[in-house]
Amino acid sequence: MEKNKEKKLFGLSPNIFFLGLVSLFNETSSAMVYSVMPAFLTVVLGAPPILVSFIEGFADALASFLKIYFGWLSDRLRKRKKLAVIGYAISTSTRWFLALVGNFWQVFILRSIDRVGKGLRDSPRDALISESLDGDGIGHSFGYHRAMDTIGAVIGPLLAVLLLPLIVNDYRFLFKIGFVIGILSIITFIFVRDKKINEPTDKSFTEHFSLSLGSYSYSFKIYILSIFIFGLGFMPLALILLKSQDIGLSIYNIPLMYFIYNLSFVFFAVPAGNLSDRIGEYNVLVYGFLAAIIAYIVFIFSIDIFGIIIAFILLGLYSAMTDGIERALASKLVPQSRLAAGQGFLNAAVGMSSLLAAIIGGFLWTYFSPTLALLYGLVMMGLGTIAFIHFNRHEVGL
């Protein structure tokens, strides 16, 4: 990893600081659009809940598998910034075209293209964060980045709630506003620079693209397996947001629940990263998994808005204790020459499990009941937590 004497900005490497701003602007744009997507799909376009769930699950799975390929490509080309910029540009462009859709299948196509952009950008960007560190504190740096990303996810739905009444609930005009904000993320890349990546001593893994984990360490393999098992129970947030309807909230108030979730994420993200630097990533991940399990229990038994709010706060805590921490741990379990590819495999495990959770959870939600879907998620996350502790019992010191 490159060492340098760069002047820090607020205690961070300039690259990490500005990559945080990139994510802030992009997520503000994205969250403004996708916090209202459940309402746009179900009310304006007439889509059933199972389709809402499938669109998000498929899109996330697509992005996650592409992260493996583009992570490998980034490692082979030894380039990070260019791939990341192209990825952000693709995602941002889709928000303009959303203003033109006439049915939910067009939304599905555009959401998939958006996730292609995410698949292209995330692994090179996360590798660049790791390579931009000039000392310890990887948990703090990833925590900062995830916090900035989530601040955008807080601002986005809040702007949606404030702007919609002013534009007479014109979702399509809101999507255009989101597009303009997304342009700022691309402009901010002017201040980000690639780091010199040393020539890998073992070039065999870059010669041919492979979906095999055979050349990775045993620790990395069981880590990926553990994350996958837990993810089978964690359904897409777009589906969980519909739970607020059960206690009488208008579907137009769904962005407020998204706001609460992301506000919780922002509040806990950096402390969670700092905590992982002190007690280890494995322990913090277990605490995060338990927070998600408790959130689902609260969702099942909630009969008023206060219970729903508590549940979304707990989901925000879960995300804060897992999102950046999972990436930080993955970067420790693979050699520097495979940083981006390792991040790709992590995201593929998350995305594939998310797709399966979306299909099963969405089916149960639509054709049986939200409670049964949540019970399914609760059981699978419980099994996943047990598997994670078992597979990593030598690292977990709770």
Instruction: Give domain status of residue 134, yes or no.
Output: yes
CATH number at residue 57: 1.20.1250.20
Integer Cα distance of 392 and 387 in angstroms: 8
Integer Cα distance of 331 and 348 in angstroms: 15
| 55 within 8 A of 38, measured Cβ to Cβ | no
Instruction: Give domain status of residue 329, yes or no.
Output: yes
Residue 393 has a pLDDT of 73
Residue 183 has a pLDDT of 95
High-pLDDT (> 90) share of the chain, %: 23
Handedness of CA 354, 359, 364, 370 (dihedral sign): positive
Instruction: Give domain status of residue 6, yes or no.
Output: no
For the chain, the 3-state helix, strand and coil shares in percent, each to the nearest 5, are 80, 0, 20
Instruction: Give domain status of residue 369, yes or no.
Output: yes
Instruction: Give domain status of residue 396, yes or no.
Output: no
The band of 344, judged by pLDDT with boundaries at 50, 70 and 90, is confident
DSSP state letters, 242-289: GGGGGGT--GGGHHHHHHHHHHHHHHHHHHHHHHHHHH-HHHHHHHHH
The segment with the largest mean pLDDT, out of 211-215, 321-325, 384-388, 394-398, is 384-388
Q: Give bridge partners of residue 31 from the DSSP assignment.
A: none
**Amino acid making up residue 11:** G
Token pair for residue 131?
A: 């390579």
Residue-number span of the structural domain to which 359 is assigned: 15-191+216-391
Instruction: Give domain status of residue 203, yes or no.
Output: no
Residue 95 has a pLDDT of 92
For 195-236, the pLDDT digits (tens) are 766 655 555 555 566 666 767 778 888 888 888 999 999 887
Q: What angle do CA 93, 349, 219 make, to 5 degrees?
A: 135
Report, as an integer, the average pLDDT of 72-99.
Answer: 89
Question: What's the pTM value of the predicted model, to 2 decimals?
Answer: 0.70
Token pair for residue 349?
A: 């495990």
Instruction: Give domain status of residue 8, yes or no.
Output: no
Domain tally, the chain: 1
- In the chain, the N- to C-terminal Cα span, in Å, equals 31
Instruction: Give domain status of residue 126, yes or no.
Output: yes
- For 218, the 3-state DSSP assignment is helix
